[in-house]
Copies of this chain bind each other. A is one copy, B any other.
Amino acid sequence: MEEKGEKVVSSAQLANKCMVNAAQVRKDLAYFGEFGIRGVGYFVKDLLNDIKRILGLNKEWKMALIGVGNLGSALLSYKDFLKLNYNIVAAFDIDPPKVIGRISEKLGKPVEVLHINRIKEVAKERKIEIGLIATPPSEAQRVADLLVEAEVKGILNFAPAQVTVPEGYVVKDVFFTTILDNLAYLLSN
């Protein structure tokens, strides 16, 4: 909406776009503060900034990728990260020489692929706060342990495996096969 030059938006419009109830939009926003103007609506630009601040997107998040296979390569070349203030500043694999050729040919911005035993050292050095696990499932917990040891507080886990971390750390799973199962269920009815 900002790109389209729209200045103001109402909760009803937002609700429409998000396929939810208008009161829901207002309640959710009001939870974090008063962002709207009664009788008018929300200023698009201000709201965008406020939401970004609420979500913690008003800073650059430095991320480490662990596992540079097919999925890892896809993540490395995912340009949209940059628009969203996320940045992969280090990549690790158990066999860096093997993968480095494979990705360097594809990428504009080359990210060196380091051996996983350097995670702790490099994570501290580059102030990495989020780790992306893109290894085979069998290695996911081991990698998570390394990230915890390196005090990387947030983990986005793409490996189809349960990963547990201590209090104070957060794991979010991206299990697209679960979503596929959901789709299959819906199609079966």
Known contacts: A73-B70, A74-B71, A177-B80. The answer to whether A170 contacts B156 by CB under 8 A is no
Q: Which of the segments A2-10, A89-97, A178-186 contacts the partner chain?
A: A178-186
**Nearest Cβ distance between residue A60 and chain B, in whole angstroms?**
11
- Interface mask (A48-77 → B, CB under 8 Å = 1, otherwise 0): 000000111100010000000111011001
- Identical chains bound together, number: 2
Interface residues on A, range: 35 or more
The answer to the question of A154 belonging to the interface, with a C-beta cut-off of 8 Å to chain B, is yes
The answer to the question of A129 belonging to the interface, with a C-beta cut-off of 8 Å to chain B, is yes
Whether B55 lies near A185 (C-beta < 8 A) is: yes
List chain A positions with a Cβ less than 8 A from chain B. Answer: 54-57, 61, 69-71, 73-74, 77-78, 80-81, 84, 86, 106, 129-130, 153-156, 158, 160, 170, 172-174, 176-177, 179-188
User: What are some 8 contacts across the A-B interface (CB < 8 A)?
Assistant: A56-B188, A69-B74, A70-B74, A86-B184, A154-B187, A172-B183, A174-B176, A174-B179
